[in-house]
Amino acid sequence: MSSDDASDDFPASKLERSGLFAKTGLKVGKNYARYLLDRATGEDDPEARKKELNTQNARDLFKEFTRLRGTALKMAQSMSMDTGLLPDEFMEVMAEAQYSVPPMNKALVRKRIRDGLGRFPELLFDEFEPEAMAAASLGQVHRARLDDGRTVAVKVQYPNVRETIESDLSVARTLFRRLVQGNGFDDHFEEVKARLQEETDYLHEAQNIDHFAEQYDTDKLVIPRPVHEFTSETVLTMTFVEGQHLDAFLDTDPSQGRRDHFGQLLWDFLHEQVAGNARTLHADTHPGNFLFREDGRLGVIDFGCVKTFPQQFRDDMLRLYRARMADDEEEITRLLFTLDILRDDLPQETQKELRQFFDRYGSLIVEPYRQSSFDFGDPGFRERMQASFKAASELRAATGSPHFIFLNKALVGLLNLLTQLKARVDTSESVSLLNNSLEAIGAEPVRP
């Protein structure tokens, strides 16, 4: 395969990609039919067979979505890794495959860098490793060295990614329209599309990195720095951050103290963002974007999916947190309507189901704040969290401000990280940060 046709392994047209979606659906259907037949004949242990079905479906989905890459793979990874809405077997397969997306061939990498930066990598860098060190849904990362001796990570976007956003979301929109009710559907899809368009613009991501490095690069966190002269819309060069991903860190059997330490850093990082005046949130809170370092600092990478909240939405979320902590039912109801979670266009039965779900979910979210120290290793909390995620997957209404999408993505991702770490976290500082923000908007602080 020549470098000019090397992008043929990345289907770009709507027809090609719709065909692969359909092929995947047929595979899953075939697996399910075989499972039903086995269950009917009583030849297998039903529970074991269901787990096997889930694992096979996850592998088939990942295989085909890997060919699609781009938006399709991003959505599949998000559903399994960030929300917990799919069975545990899906999470296991996606966790194994998190860093094993088949990379572009070397000729295509050279071409993508030349197209993005004007010259081939060997003319730009003192050293450039042609083998990708990581490959994900939208692009892959190579280690390189600048002429000044700095080690850098070079992220190279797959071909046609931006061009496929519209077609992939069009297919997804058609599927989801059959499942949901309510008038907020289009607004939710526009929000997802806007973030994906930003995430595939590496010049925008470089600006995000600058913001987070200025705000949060401290003796606790390590943020990369963009190298602007070697960055374009499709190629991003940034300083290299050392560290272990979560699975490798846990494989070292870290002490409870180390687990608590990094859990505290993750917890504090999110609250500093939510309480901060910039209202800007690193919304891709999944294991691949954090590095656990020997020096005790937490590395934070991948700033493509960043959400800046409108002032009113952020402030109303703070008020909802306060109302939950105070068990103020009247204020909770008012804010649920203000934030479009409850809507007059929905049937009364749907409104009742939504209110019941968000009461349970809201109580779960504020549970850690009700005590000065919280143990995320508590199996009871994890069970309640998974039950809430499962209940969320059964809701059939597109409600809530679209700004919730990436707030929930960050929050659910954080909870998953903390439960995997089994960390014990001191919540007093986070409560203090939120209280300061409440006072700044003229609201009563939360009383211990």
Q: Which residue has the higher pLDDT, 12 or 278?
A: 278
At 132 the pLDDT is 92
Contact call for residues 86 and 79 (beta carbons, < 8 A):
yes
Q: So what's the pLDDT on residue 48?
A: 67
Q: Which two tokens stand for residue 441?
A: 């908007």
Residue with tokens 């976290």: 425
Supply the DSSP symbol for 132.
-
Query: Among 150, 280, 292, which Cα is nearest to 220's?
Result: 292
What is residue 230's DSSP assignment? G
- Would you say 211 and 280 are in contact if contact means Cβ atoms under 8 Å apart? yes
Q: Is the confidence at residue 143, as pLDDT, over 60?
A: yes
Query: CB-based contacts of 428: which residues, under 8 Å, 6+ apart?
Result: 372
When pLDDT is cut at 50, 70 and 90, the band that residue 41 belongs to is low
Instruction: Let me know: does 144 contact 236? Beta carbons within 8 Å.
Output: no
Query: 433: closest CA among 296, 270, 265, 217?
Result: 270
Q: Which two three-digit tokens encode residue 55? A: 């694992």
Q: For tokens 């395969």, what's the residue?
A: 1
pLDDT band at 29 (very low <50, low <70, confident <90, very high): very low
Residue 31 has pLDDT above 70, yes or no: no
Q: What pLDDT score does 79 carry?
A: 47
Q: Which residue type does 208 have?
A: N
Higher pLDDT, 347 or 315: 315
Give 147-180 pLDDT, tens digit per residue: 999 999 999 998 888 877 777 677 666 655 544 5
Q: How confident is the model at residue 237 (pLDDT cuts 50, 70, 90)?
A: very high
Per-residue confidence (pLDDT) for residue 250, from 0 to 100: 97
Q: What is the mean pLDDT of the chain?
A: 82
pLDDT digits (tens, 9 = 90+) for 251-271: 999 999 999 999 999 999 999
Residue 187: CB atoms within 10 Å: 15
Q: What CA–CA distances, in Å, run from 265 to 113, 271, 280, 300, 308? A: 35, 10, 18, 11, 21
Q: Which residues pair with 292 in a beta bridge?
A: 244, 298
Phi and psi, residue 292, nearest 5°: -95, 115
The single-letter DSSP state of residue 9 is G
Span 386-419, pLDDT tens digits: 888 777 766 655 678 889 988 988 998 999 999 9
Q: What is the pLDDT of residue 81?
A: 44
In whole angstroms, give the CA distance from residue 165 to residue 303.
Answer: 19
For the stretch 71-83, pLDDT in tens is 555 555 554 444 4
- Which of 430, 437, 403 shows the shortest CA–CA distance to 271? 430
Q: How far apart are CA 311 and CA 411, in angstroms?
A: 19
